[in-house]
């Protein structure tokens, strides 16, 4: 075979590698979007598109990769979970995002929800109370190229005053009540989506909208979430 042909073949092989590696899960993602999201009433085109492209398998532990696109929440270590795809989609859709929005997330966890948001808006700020998770999500988001996400370790109860006000705020841990600082850091016309309720088991997913200083509230669906906590936790390895 002539040298130019060999070079051409080598070039095609090399350039096709990363795409095929990513596409291993393209079918799983499509099925997830069709069965779990569209069939259950998620209609926002952008939300459906983005969940169909983000590599969810990159956000779970190696052992759970085969389950990454299944219809359930999955453990991410330190007693926490990455939400079921349907819940991620519903919360994202209800935020009514626009491309220029600045969004705050409380509860970074694996970084998956933040990655979804990063493809829909200009800037995403996300706070995680468990140091180990904050650190691993920072590394993961950077490695995967989600450059418009900033992760911080701390108690999200206080929001992120220096980057406020926000167009939208999403809380991905179940709270007893809505933290006042988050309401204060919301723009007029802004939206908050948060699971709230007095018990650890089932809470209401609530959407709040700020209109001329007033807060309008709408119940979405009952949900289960890991609890919103108030202390910055360092969990040792035996306690996972
Ligand atoms: N959004 C995440 C899943 C979050 S699970 C994802 O896509 O993977 C809820 C997360 O909220 C947990 O990681 C938990 O540690 C965190 N959390 C709980 N209370 C918090 C608080 N007060 N401030 C910031 N993070 C908190």
Determine the residue of 50, 109, 177, 195 to mutate for testing ligand 1's pocket, defined as the one with the most ligand atoms within 8 A of the Cβ atom: 109
Would you say residue 163 has pLDDT above 70?
yes
* CA pair distance 107, 97, nearest whole angstrom: 19
User: Any residues with Cβ below 6 Å from ligand 1, and which?
Assistant: 76, 80-83, 106-107, 109-110, 112-113, 127-130, 133, 155-157, 172-173, 226, 228-230
Does a structural domain hold residue 59?
A: no
What is the Å distance from ligand 1's center to 57 Cα?
19
Does a structural domain hold residue 50?
A: no
* CA pair distance 131, 23, nearest whole angstrom: 32
Per-residue pLDDT band at 129 (split at 50, 70, 90): very high
Does a structural domain hold residue 53?
A: no
* CA pair distance 22, 145, nearest whole angstrom: 14
Would you say residue 237 has pLDDT above 60?
no
* CATH number for the domain harbouring residue 171: 3.40.50.150
Determine the residue of 129, 157, 233 to mutate for testing ligand 1's pocket, defined as the one with the most ligand atoms within 8 A of the Cβ atom: 129
Does a structural domain hold residue 171?
A: yes
Does a structural domain hold residue 22?
A: no
Q: Which residues pair with residue 153 across a beta bridge?
A: 128
Per-residue burial over 116-149, b = 16 or more CB atoms within 10 Å of its CB, e = otherwise? bbbbbbebbbbbbbbebbbebbbebbeebebeeb
Does a structural domain hold residue 213?
A: yes
Q: What does the pLDDT read at residue 238?
A: 45
Please identify, by atom number, the ligand 1 atom nearest to the C-alpha of residue 155: 23
pLDDT digit string, tens, across residues 177-225: 999 999 999 999 999 999 999 877 899 999 999 999 899 999 999 999 9
pLDDT digit string, tens, across residues 19-70: 555 579 999 999 999 999 999 999 999 999 999 999 999 999 999 999 999 9
Per-residue pLDDT band at 239 (split at 50, 70, 90): very low
Does a structural domain hold residue 180?
A: yes
Structurally, how many domains does the chain consist of? 1
Higher-confidence position of 18 and 121: 121
């Amino acid at each position: 075979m002539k040298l130019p042909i060999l070079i051409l073949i080598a070039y095609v092989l090399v350039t096709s590698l990363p795409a095929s590696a990513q596409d291993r899960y393209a079918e799983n993602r499509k099925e997830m979007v069709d069965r779990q999201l569209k069939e259950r009433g998620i209609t926002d085109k952008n939300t459906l598109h983005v969940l169909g492209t983000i590599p969810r398998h990159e956000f779970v532990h190696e052992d759970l990769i085969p389950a990454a696109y299944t219809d359930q929440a999955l453990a991410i270590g330190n007693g926490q979970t990455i939400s079921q795809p349907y819940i991620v989609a519903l919360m994202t859709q209800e935020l009514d995002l626009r491309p220029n929005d600045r969004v705050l997330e409380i509860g970074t966890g694996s970084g998956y929800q933040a990655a979804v948001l990063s493809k829909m808006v200009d800037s995403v700020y996300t706070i995680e109370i468990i140091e180990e998770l904050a650190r691993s999500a920072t590394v993961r988001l950077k490695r995967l190229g989600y450059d418009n996400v900033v992760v911080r370790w701390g108690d999200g109860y206080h929001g992120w005053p220096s980057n406020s006000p926000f167009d939208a705020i999403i809380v991905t841990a179940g709270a007893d009540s809505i933290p006042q600082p988050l309401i204060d850091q919301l723009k007029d016309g802004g939206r908050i989506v948060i699971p709230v309720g007095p018990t650890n088991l089932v809470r209401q997913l609530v959407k709040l909208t700020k209109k001329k200083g007033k807060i309008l509230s709408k119940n979405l669906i009952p949900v289960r979430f890991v609890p919103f906590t108030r202390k910055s936790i360092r969990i040792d390895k035996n306690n996972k």
